[in-house]
Amino acid sequence: MFSHVVIFWTDPEQPNAAQELIDGANKYLRDIPGALHFHVGRMATSERPVVDQSYQVALNIVFEDKATQDAYQVHPEHVKFVEEVFKRVCKRVVIYDFED
């Protein structure tokens, strides 16, 4: 298993940026072949001080292996998402990839 976790900080000057990012991920990324699990959504609030609440949107995709994730990265729909949505509405991104 290979997990690809992406944390997005959206542009605060664009009030609909978080929703546009979620909509764009669903439009461009959800149906790219190879994902065993796809989940995108807004940050969940928490009273626990160890929970990072500085971001707006997170994406979690699970693949069978790293090779499948590598193919996902260069898929034309992923490239469209980056160019048409991500670059327009995001200010920062952090990615956590891990495998077993």
For residue 87, give the CATH number of its domain.
3.30.70.100
The pLDDT of residue 18 is 98
Count of domains in the chain? 1
Full pLDDT tens readout for the chain, 100 residues: 999 999 999 999 999 999 999 999 999 999 999 999 999 999 999 999 999 999 999 999 999 999 999 999 999 999 999 999 999 999 999 999 999 9
List the domain range (segments joined by +) for residue 61: 2-46+55-99
Give me the pLDDT at residue 80, please: 98
Q: Which residues contact 20 (CB under 8 A, 6 or more apart)?
A: 14, 85, 88, 89
Q: For strand 90-99 and strand 2-10, is the pairing parallel, antiparallel, or unpaired?
A: antiparallel
Q: What is the pTM of this model?
A: 0.94
pLDDT, position 28: 98
